[in-house]
Amino acid sequence: MHHVESQIREPLILGNKTYHQITEDVCRPVEGKANKMWYMVFSISALLALWGLGCICYTVGVGIGVWGLNKTVDWAWDITNFVWWVGIGHAGTLISAVLLLFRQRWRMAINRSAEAMTIFAVIMAALFPLLHMGRIWLAYWVLPLPNQFGSLWVNFNSPLLWDVFAISTYFSVSLVFWYIGLIPDFATIRDRAVKPLSKKVYSILSFGWTGSAKHWNRFEEVSLVLAGLATPLVFSVHSIVSMDFATSVIPGWHTTIFPPYFVAGAVFSGFAMVLTLMLVMRKVLHLEAYVTVKHVEYMNIIIMVTGSMVGVAYLSELFISWYSGVEYEGYAFMNRATGWYWWSYMLMMTCNVVSPQLMWVKKWRRNIVLTFFMSIVVNVGMWFERFVIIVTSIHRDYVPSSWNLFHPTFVDIGLFLGTIGIFFVLFLLYSRVFPVLALNEVKTILRSTGEAQLKQIHAGEHPTVLDSKGAGH
């Protein structure tokens, strides 16, 4: 029974916590009232969201002519925002699935919120292709449904259709994975609820979970198999998104390294967004004992690694465009770096390749303020990466007479900022009514990774998880 733990491993749960204390700490925000800070951030996000909703209505009502698109640049902010949001939506399932398969115990403090973030980010992403269809009420035409047009089917050879399947599978599977994990935690809130209304609501949400041995037996099997399925799924989704570009014959898009390069970029930006949200959340909801500096450090290491992978991809793209001897490719990359959009190329390079290298220094990757700043820098960089790939590749057409630039209209800007608003509104609401930490899963690692428990283990005692008033066993 005695658990052996390395002396050098840092605790993942700080302080003298007990099982009950974990329940208290995570349920407090759900059972208590929101503070002023929450209302302030919520109001700002809601205003942005309203602007976004206004722009959505305007776009749907008038048509996408109100965007800044022109004959040459016919894909710009919409697809940039789509890829950016889908990329952000990669961290959640990566954390909960890939890190589960690798038995990384630090995932338990962050997987719940990262998955919530994933789901909201994918909703934001899906909005853009739907709006770009123009007639959004015909969106069901992307499905292979029997129809009146002489049984004309959707094109299964097209990466755009692969995307429909990839995104809808990813969204629905992530949602199910998230909810299955939530059920036992909702049951905890249900069993503690005092007010009749919240008792009723959490009873419905927890689906009558009892936590019997057979329940847990099945729970662990489902989690493992879903993790096994979600792991290749995460990689497939952004690979397929990258094929929207890679299978076309546009210089700058037609490269075989796109799938792994996009996946690395997605993980990179996803972890950055997780950090942005978690650093604020741990402070506001007083969860510093669970989302520790060690967790932040782990995530910063992932950001550094994936950022460097993205950097290698940028450089090999650049090299191959010259080495291939293809004039069009060579020009596309020359134009990216030195043409009209050189500033966005520079921003992309600085934010995504240079800045993550700061994380080699242990002191810096453990610095909360620097990490917060960096997480925003990374997401700015990743937005510009997509912008650079998309707009610079098409704004110089084959015929110089059709060369053009892209200027966003207020609707483009409103849609982008609006989705950020809607995203934060959803996340803030989530943080009020959902258990933001997988509290029952965290309890399973308390005995082997809690700070007080580790001290006992190192002193050669059997670690206890009881309140001081409880008799030690």
Partner 1 sequence: MSTVIYAMYDDDHVLLNGAKKVVSKGIHVTDVFSPFPVHGIDDVIGVRKTRLAICAFIYGLTGMSLALIGMRYFMIVDWPMNIGGKPNFSMLQNLPAFIPITFEFTVFCTAHGMALTYMLRNKTLPGMKAKNPDPRTTDDKFVMEIHVEESKEAELIALLKETGAIEINKKAA
Least Å distance, CB 128 to partner 1, is 20
Contact of 134 with 319, CB cutoff 8 Å: no
State which of residues 6, 148, 157, 256 lies at the interface with partner 1 (CB under 8 A). Answer: 157
Q: Does the footprint of partner 1 cover residue 213 (CB under 8 A)?
A: yes
Number of residues that bind partner 1 (CB under 8 A): 73
Cα gap 185→440, rounded to integer Å: 6
Give one word for 438, left, alpha or beta, with left for phi > 0 and alpha for psi -120 to 50: beta
Stretch that binds partner 1, among 84-92, 144-152, 314-322, 373-381 (CB under 8 A): 144-152
Residues facing 13 on adjacent strands: 450
Residue type, 373: F
Options 51, 54, 60, 192; binder of partner 1; rule CB under 8 A: 192
The span of 119-127, 186-194, 348-356, 390-398 binding partner 1 (CB under 8 A) equals 186-194
**In terms of CB distance, is 93 or 308 closer to partner 1?**
93
Which residue is it, tokens 């809607």? 422
- Residue 154 in contact with partner 1, rule: CB under 8 A: yes
Q: Write down the least CB distance from residue 187 to partner 1, Å.
A: 5
161 binds partner 1 (CB under 8 A): yes
CA 197 to mean position of chain CA atoms = 32
Contact indicator for 72, 397 with CB cutoff of 8 Å: yes
In the shown chain, the binding pattern of residues 233 to 262 toward partner 1, with x for contact by CB under 8 A and - for none, equals: x--x---x--x-------------------
Nearer residue to partner 1 within complex by CB, 218 or 458: 218
Q: Let me know the angle formed at the C-alpha of 265 by 264 and 270, rounded to the nearest 5 degrees.
A: 100
Rule CB under 8 A: choose which of 155, 324, 338, 402 binds partner 1. 155
162-168 own/partner pairs: CB under 8 Å, 24+ apart: 162/240, 162/243, 163/129, 163/240, 163/241, 163/244, 166/236, 166/237, 166/240, 166/241, 167/86, 167/122, 167/125, 167/126, 167/237
- By beta-carbon proximity to partner 1, the closer residue of 327 and 461 is 461
User: Distance between CA atoms of 66 and 415, rounded to whole angstroms?
Assistant: 11
Q: Please, what is the minimum distance in Å from the beta carbon of residue 248 to partner 1?
A: 10
Contact flag: residue 135 with partner 1 (CB under 8 A): no
Nearer to partner 1, 32 or 63 (CB): 32
Task: Answer yes or no whether residue 169 interacts with partner 1 by CB under 8 A.
Answer: yes
Q: Which tokens is 237 given?
A: 């989704």
Residue 204 β-bridge partners: none
Query: Is residue 206 part of the contact set for partner 1 (CB under 8 A)?
Result: yes
Q: Please report whether residue 443 would count as binding partner 1 according to CB under 8 A.
A: yes
Judged by CB under 8 A, which of 45, 118, 188, 352 binds partner 1? 188
Hey, CA dihedral for 402, 403, 407, 408, is it positive or negative?
Answer: positive
Contacts of 386 (CB under 8 A, 6+ apart): 79, 80, 83, 84, 87
Contacting residue, 11, 12, 18, 359, with partner 1 by CB under 8 A: 18
Q: Least distance to partner 1 from the beta carbon of 234, Å?
A: 11
Among 100, 166, 266, 273, contact with partner 1 (rule: CB under 8 A): 166
The residues in 267-326 that bind partner 1, with binding defined as CB under 8 A, are none
